[in-house]
């Protein structure tokens, strides 16, 4: 995929703000600080379009990035911050449900996990949440550059096993540092567009 255009169209807090052109969408989810913005930026060849390391307490939004005038990446707010209040957590849940339950042009979801670590309870919950909507889930195990090559296969297996990923779900190793896995990731994402 050659990305020639990428722009943020809207940071939405509710359904009425979603883009109306109904182009296909791919949602991206992940624990805060897992490397979600870095994944997006690397995929679209931008240093800083998706904001990295978004801090808790900031307005939580669904960020719609229009790519090549033909589809959207929808960056959903990260999860897993210990310090988030119950009220904020509820708001987050409501926003997620509103989007995932009703969005007909949503084609697939990318769940970003850290290849170094066993997926957390929150990661498992997110995976189950996405599967609940009958979405194809692409698991991207990022920060690949941070483990040695000899450990890759075992770490990928641990991700698959911990999430109890379905056989049809694709699990991709990735590094935003080296861009390893980028072409494969585009190949997979394009198959859903």
Q: How far is the CB of 42 from ligand GDP (least distance, A)?
A: 8
> Can you tell me the distance from the alpha carbon of 48 to that of 44, in angstroms, rounded to the nearest whole number?
10
If phi > 0 it is left, if psi is from -120 to 50 it is alpha, else beta; for residue 143 that is left
Answer yes or no whether residue 95 interacts with ligand GDP by CB under 6 A: no
Residue 23's alpha-carbon distances to 73, 84, 99, 149, in angstroms, are: 10, 33, 15, 38
Q: Does 145 bind ligand GDP (CB under 6 A)?
A: yes
146 binds ligand GDP (CB under 6 A): yes
36 counts as binding ligand GDP under rule CB under 6 A = yes
Residue 32 lies near ligand GDP (rule: CB under 6 A): yes
Tell me which of 88, 98, 122, 177 binds ligand GDP, using CB under 6 A. 177
The DSSP line for the chain is -----EEEEEEESSGGGS-SS---EEEEEEBTTSSHHHHHHHHTT-SSSSPSSPPTTSPP-EEEEEETTTEEEEEPPPB--TT--HHHHHHHHHHHHHHHHH-TTEEEEEEEEETTSPPPHHHHHHHHHHHHTT--EEEEEE-GGGS-GGGHHHHHHHHHHHHT--TTSEEEE--TTT-TTHHHHHHHHHTT-
Q: Which stretch binds ligand GDP (CB under 6 A): 1-9, 55-63, 131-139, 142-150?
A: 142-150
Q: Is residue 53 part of the contact set for ligand GDP (CB under 6 A)? A: yes
Minimum distance from residue 75 beta carbon to ligand GDP (Å): 8
Indicate which single residue of 27, 100, 173, 175 sits in contact with ligand GDP (rule: CB under 6 A): 175
Task: Establish if 61 lies at the interface with ligand GDP (CB under 6 A).
Answer: no
Single out the residue of 78, 119, 136, 181 in contact with ligand GDP (rule: CB under 6 A).
Answer: 78
Cβ proximity to ligand GDP, 35 vs 119, nearer residue: 35
Interface residue with ligand GDP, options 33, 61, 120, 162 (CB under 6 A): 33
- Smallest gap from residue 176 Cβ to ligand GDP (A): 4
**Please, what is the minimum distance in Å from the beta carbon of residue 40 to ligand GDP?**
8
Total binding residues toward ligand GDP, as defined by CB under 6 A: 19
């Amino acid at each position: 995929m050659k990305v020639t255009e990428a722009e943020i169209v809207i940071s939405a807090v509710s359904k009425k703000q979603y883009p109306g052109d109904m182009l296909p969408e791919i949602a991206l989810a992940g624990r805060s600080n897992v490397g979600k913005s870095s994944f997006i930026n690397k995929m679209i060849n931008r240093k800083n379009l998706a904001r990295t390391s978004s801090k808790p307490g900031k307005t939580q939004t669904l960020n719609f990035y229009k790519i090549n005038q033909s589809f959207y990446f929808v960056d959903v707010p990260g999860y897993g911050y210990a310090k988030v209040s119950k009220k904020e957590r509820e708001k987050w849940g409501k926003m997620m449900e509103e989007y995932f339950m009703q969005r007909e042009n949503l084609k697939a979801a990318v769940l970003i996990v850290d290849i170094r670590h066993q997926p957390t309870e929150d990661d498992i919950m997110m995976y189950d949440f996405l599967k609940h909507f009958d979405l194809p889930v692409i698991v991207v195990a990022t920060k690949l550059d941070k483990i040695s090559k000899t450990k890759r296969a075992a770490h990928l297996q641990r991700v698959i096993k911990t999430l109890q990923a379905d056989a049809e779900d694709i699990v991709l190793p990735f590094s935003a540092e080296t861009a390893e896995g980028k072409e494969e990731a585009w190949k997979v994402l394009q198959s859903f567009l």
